[in-house]
Amino acid sequence: MALIDLSKKEVHCKIVYYGPGRCGKTTNLLYIYNTMSDKARGKMLTIETKGDRTLFFDLLPISLGKVNGFDIRIQLYTVPGQSIYAATRKLVLKGVDGIVFVADSLKVRKAKNVESLSDLNANLQEYNKTLKDIPMVLQFNKRDLISTPIPTLTLPEMQQDLNKDNFWPTFEASATKGTGVFETLKEISKKTVRYVAEKHLSVPHR
């Protein structure tokens, strides 16, 4: 749940980047960190295993300016995607206000994407929530690979696997190049702030 400090007029929202191992969650946060000004971002905290895998989570605090006189602070988290870190993924989801589901465009990751979305759903249920209760956007990452010989999934294929009824907004991205990264962040921030404001600040639905 978002933390609201009425005396300081601050709202802290938690957005979690979720998805299978190696889909590019940490790369999204690194791109955001490297692109934002010092004023708008806090320190990025990242705990890695040997190599570059996320061991616990990555955390990047950012400021989004004011809404209705409240300072909006957002904490961006990633989960560790590797199967063995199931317990950690559940823990990181505690109190989540918004989710970016990062799917991998590599063909070999097709089943892993689906498995990860279902893992997310199961973890949310443990907190008495469902996928459709929380603001979420889908990011189809690694689209730069479609122009290489590496086999990739088509957009309709990814939609069919992950977003059959077109419930969530989707963004094509290349987190390494930075395309689509801020579009994704902007949309989830907008949805999350609206959700938190309606839920906790009695801002009427528009």
Ligand X SMILES: Nc1nc2c(ncn2[C@@H]2O[C@H](COP(=O)(O)OP(=O)(O)OP(=O)(O)O)[C@@H](O)[C@H]2O)c(=O)[nH]1
Q: Which of residues 124-143 bind ligand X (CB under 6 A)?
A: 141-142
Cβ proximity to ligand X: between 80 and 135 the closer is 80
Strands 136-141 and 54-67: unpaired
54 binds ligand X (CB under 6 A): yes
Which among ligand X, Mg ion, none contacts residue 22 (Cβ within 5 to 8 A by kind)?
ligand X
26 binds Mg ion (CB under 5 A): yes
183 binds ligand X (CB under 6 A): no
Which among ligand X, Mg ion, none contacts residue 12 (Cβ within 5 to 8 A by kind)?
none
Residue number of the CB atom closest to ligand X: 81
Three-class DSSP labels, the chain: CCEEECCCCEEEEEEEEECCCCCCHHHHHHHHHHHCCCCCECCCEEEECCCCCEEEEEEEEEEEEEECCEEEEEEEEECCCCHHHHHHHHHHCCCCCEEEEEEECEHHHHHHHHHHHHHHHHHHHHCCCCCCCCCEEEEEECHHHHHCCCCECCHHHHHHHHCCCCCCCEEECECCCCECHHHHHHHHHHHHHHHHHHHHCCCCCC
Cβ proximity to ligand X: between 54 and 196 the closer is 54
Span of 26-34, 36-44, 86-94, 176-184 interacting with Mg ion by CB under 5 A: 26-34
Which residue type, as a one-letter code, is found at position 176? T
**Shortest reach from residue 199's CB to ligand X, in Å:** 29
12, 14, 25, 112: which one contacts ligand X (CB under 6 A)?
25
46 binds Mg ion (CB under 5 A): no
Which among Mg ion, ligand X, none contacts residue 141 (Cβ within 5 to 8 A by kind)?
ligand X
Positions touching ligand X (CB under 6 A) are 19, 21-27, 52-54, 78, 80-82, 141-142, 144-145, 174-176
